[in-house]
Amino acid sequence: MSQAYFKCENLHAYYGESYILRGVGFSLGQNELLALLGRNGAGKTTTLRAIAQAQHPSLKQGEVWLNGDPIHKLPTHKAAQRGISLVPEERKIIPGLTVEENLILAQIAPPKGWPLSRIYELFPRLEERKTQMGTTLSGGEQQMLAVARALARDVSLLLLDEPYEGLAPLIVKDIERVLITLKEEGMTIILVEQNAIGALKIADRCVIIETGEVVYDGDPQKILNDEKLRLEYLAI
């Protein structure tokens, strides 16, 4: 693996009295795509939120570093300004705004990311629907808009929580194509996905969490090629 561009260390988090993260830590190089996998309730979403500094105040301990900068000391908006962008599972498209207005709004505060022309080149379907209300898009189109809105900011680390959820296979292929393109253009990506096979096929590395602890950190192909490991860690 290339020199670590991102790393998190010793992340611990609670929800009430429930101990969710129990010392999670991993790293990845620049322009790598990491599949963060595990069963439901393993702590994957909590890990993403902790990395983005969007976690509930019950994050008790841990460090997050991006390109040598200590992100764990920053509030959420400052972490975003350093280039960390979380695309949540619920997408959070802003009601009452068109597709293009959703994108323009994301660029109001600096630092700005991709221009609209470049976003539309990657997402031609969004350009076709740029005057349509964002909340009236199909599920797949809303997912595209959520990713595009992240790119409208100056993103270095893209965190995706269940981007394939509820999407038709053809739309999933479109999202996969976009992620591969982003990685090729130098973006670092952490992908949380219940569609483990799909995530493993495009990932450079795989981290599997079980009950808040890392139980695997290595080659995605090893998991793809070993049914016993898939059953042990992912129940697939």
pLDDT of residue 58: 62
Chain segment 36-61, per-residue pLDDT in tens:
999 999 999 999 999 998 865 566 67
Average pLDDT over residues 127-156: 95
**What's 203's domain CATH number?**
3.40.50.300
pLDDT of residue 223: 96
Asked if residue 222 is part of any domain, the answer here is: yes
Asked if residue 118 is part of any domain, the answer here is: no
Asked if residue 100 is part of any domain, the answer here is: no
Asked if residue 43 is part of any domain, the answer here is: yes
pLDDT of residue 60: 64
Asked if residue 10 is part of any domain, the answer here is: yes
Number of domains in the chain: 1
Asked if residue 175 is part of any domain, the answer here is: no
Asked if residue 99 is part of any domain, the answer here is: no
CB under 8 Å, gap of 24 or more: what pairs does 57-60 form? 58/13, 58/14, 58/15, 58/16, 59/11, 59/12, 59/13, 59/21, 60/12, 60/13, 60/14
Asked if residue 41 is part of any domain, the answer here is: yes
Query: Domain span at residue 76?
Result: 1-83+157-165+188-236
Chain segment 161-215, per-residue pLDDT in tens:
999 998 999 999 999 999 999 999 999 999 999 999 999 999 999 999 999 999 9
Average pLDDT over residues 83-99: 94
pTM for the predicted model, two decimal places: 0.93
Average pLDDT over residues 130-147: 96
